[in-house]
């Protein structure tokens, strides 16, 4: 190839490169996505766990919602009050008071205190046990199955199965709600971190059936309700429920409970 051919090839390559560069430059300007500075700032202070506990698809989704005014500044359950205050400062609003919450398993029916109808051998996933007789081998059809579906979804290693029943480490829990969503028995709920007394049972069976199935199941005897000076205890579906807003933490309910199911 002569010098002319080399020059022509160089010019062609250069022209193509210039065209591509100009095209990309114009395309970049035309299709540029405007970045909300507040959204970026909010995303920068969020913890980045992307747990979905806020109800949005990860931290970026929450940051966008906060920047648009569609979500409160303290919507991140993992970051808690400290992150809420930082976000409030970015958004130029007053930080709303938030109550720290933790997950709580409403069951104490471990292997030593419950009966079983049969021996189970199969997939160790609580969600799959809805396909087996009585929803699982435990005599209490409302009790914790103990196969750890909640453990597997917890991104903070805050819940573990101990002797056949799930137990939450309240110091490690960030209230993301994943364990709440995955429990097929609806045993797990979010409660205030400062809750003084909680009924650790969700059985909806009448007293005799509960006594037969579990040593620590609520039998709806109403002693807790009768002895509560704050009228914080009610009986719903054959088990006691404590209204945390009314509870004064006196301990009368726990003291009077014959089944020791209030913790």
φ, ψ for residue 151 (rounded to 5)? -65, -40
pLDDT tens digit sequence for 83-113:
888 988 988 888 777 788 999 999 999 999 9
Query: CB under 8 Å to 148, separation ≥6 — which residues?
Result: 124, 126, 160, 161, 166
pLDDT of residue 3: 73
pLDDT of residue 112: 94
pLDDT of residue 7: 65
Three-class secondary structure assignment of 173-195: CCCCCHHHHHCCCCCEEEEECCC
pLDDT of residue 261: 95
Longest dimension (CA), the chain: 106
- What CATH architecture is 38-91? Orthogonal Bundle (1.10)
Domain map (residue ranges) of the chain: 38-91, 100-194, 195-263
- The third-level CATH classification (topology) of the domain covering 100-194 is Alpha-Beta Plaits (3.30.70)
Do the domains 195-263 and 100-194 match in fold?
A: yes
Positions in the chain short of pLDDT 70: 1-2, 5-9, 11-17, 20, 23-35
CA–CA distance, 86 with 165 (Å, rounded to integer):
38
- The third-level CATH classification (topology) of the domain covering 195-263 is Alpha-Beta Plaits (3.30.70)
């Amino acid at each position: 190839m002569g010098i002319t051919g080399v020059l022509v090839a160089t010019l062609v390559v250069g022209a193509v490169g210039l065209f591509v560069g100009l095209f990309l430059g114009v395309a970049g300007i035309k299709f540029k996505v405007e970045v909300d500075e507040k959204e970026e700032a909010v995303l920068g202070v969020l913890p980045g766990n992307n747990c979905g506990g806020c109800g949005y698809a990860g931290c970026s989704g929450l940051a966008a919602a906060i920047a648009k005014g569609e979500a409160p500044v303290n919507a991140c359950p993992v970051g808690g009050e400290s992150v809420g205050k930082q976000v409030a400062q970015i958004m130029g609003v007053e930080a709303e008071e938030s109550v720290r919450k933790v997950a709580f398993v409403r069951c104490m029916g471990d292997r030593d205190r419950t009966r079983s109808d049969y021996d189970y051998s199969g997939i160790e996933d609580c969600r799959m046990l809805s396909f087996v007789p009585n929803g699982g081998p435990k005599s209490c059809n409302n009790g914790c199955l103990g196969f750890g579906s909640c453990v597997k979804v917890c991104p903070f290693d805050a819940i573990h199965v101990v002797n056949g029943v799930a137990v939450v480490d309240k110091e490690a829990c960030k209230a993301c709600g994943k364990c709440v969503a995955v429990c097929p028995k609806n045993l797990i709920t979010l409660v205030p971190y400062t809750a003084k007394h909680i009924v650790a049972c969700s059985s909806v069976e009448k007293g005799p059936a509960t006594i037969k199935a579990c040593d620590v199941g609520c039998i709806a005897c109403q002693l807790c309700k009768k002895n509560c000076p704050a009228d914080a205890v009610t009986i719903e579906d054959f088990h006691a429920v404590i209204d945390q807003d009314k509870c004064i933490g006196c301990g009368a309910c726990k003291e009077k409970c014959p089944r020791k199911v209030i913790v």
